[in-house]
A = this chain, B = another copy of it.
């Protein structure tokens, strides 16, 4: 190699290091590649003073799906494990459940039969197990459950089965003046009790599905009672609605893993100025699970096509992530 070539090569290496490195790598669990680079490029161009794509800090809104995007949603969404445990606990007080679907099938151990009723069955299960107490009582129930319940495959707390690369991404965005929000089809009050500790996302930055609550004075104390009635379904077209309702600004970046997130990504991507949309693609059957176009609960089909058509980032968990989970992290 001639001296001139060596010098050119060195300049190239230095430039690359300056882009990806910047003192310490903010995304150490991400392999170098187009996915990681697309994140770094986006964050740099919206935060660098004088950049044509600069976005003032208050407008740096990032929205994240939860199930399958921030934590593991297989073999079942975590909230479903919670609901099933609640059924067992509450069943002795509800003899009528023995003849009432989907609860009857669940009590017989026939989960597949219970789920045959589709979304309606899941809603019935949630209303039966998530209502009838005050919001404070429900928070304690969630706290107690998450403190002991374990993932059936990894034998770790569900709240430890969160994706280490996504924790790094949350921290990286926060360090760059972004405000991170969860926008999940899951229950808002099911996520809030632990989201701050696990993700650094405070309760007021959690958006999710909810049941109706009602203000009452009980025994002289003002309380909010959880009623067995759906208030808001924060999924699919509900995600942009929930974003507008809670945040009141269009996100500049959004992160999901299924068709249930597609409308959130479309809404985010359609804003003016620089935008960033990312899908986490579950293609790592060895370290986690592999599912996409045909999954019954978390299908990624239309979203995958649209990501390709629109140039959104698609993260291959298998190739783009050095490690998957936070548990065991040093």
Taking Cβ atoms with an 8 Å cutoff, the residues of A that contact B are 58, 61, 135, 179, 188-189, 192, 196, 202-206, 210, 213-215, 217, 221-222, 224, 231, 237-241, 244-249, 263, 266-267, 270
Contacts and interface: CB of A to CB of B under 8 A. Distances in A.
A249 B238 CA distance: 23
Nearest to A270: B222
A291 to B, nearest CB: 25
Contact of A270 (B221, B238, B244, B263): B221
A248 B207 CA distance: 10
B245 A203 contact: no
A248 B203 contact: yes
Nearest to A232: B245
A267 B205 CA distance: 21
Contacts of A214: 237, 241
Given A221-B270, A222-B267, A224-B241, A248 B204 contact: yes
A240 B224 contact: yes
A205 B61 CA distance: 13
Contact of A237 (B215, B246, B263, B266): B215
A224 B238 CA distance: 10
Contacts of A213: 241, 244-245
Contact of A248 (B188, B215, B239): B188
Nearest to A231: B245
A222 B58 contact: no
A222 B266 CA distance: 7
Given A188-B245, A214-B237, 14 more contacts: A203-B247, A204-B204, A204-B246, A213-B241, A213-B244, A215-B239, A215-B240, A215-B241, A215-B263, A217-B266, A222-B240, A222-B263, A224-B267, A246-B246
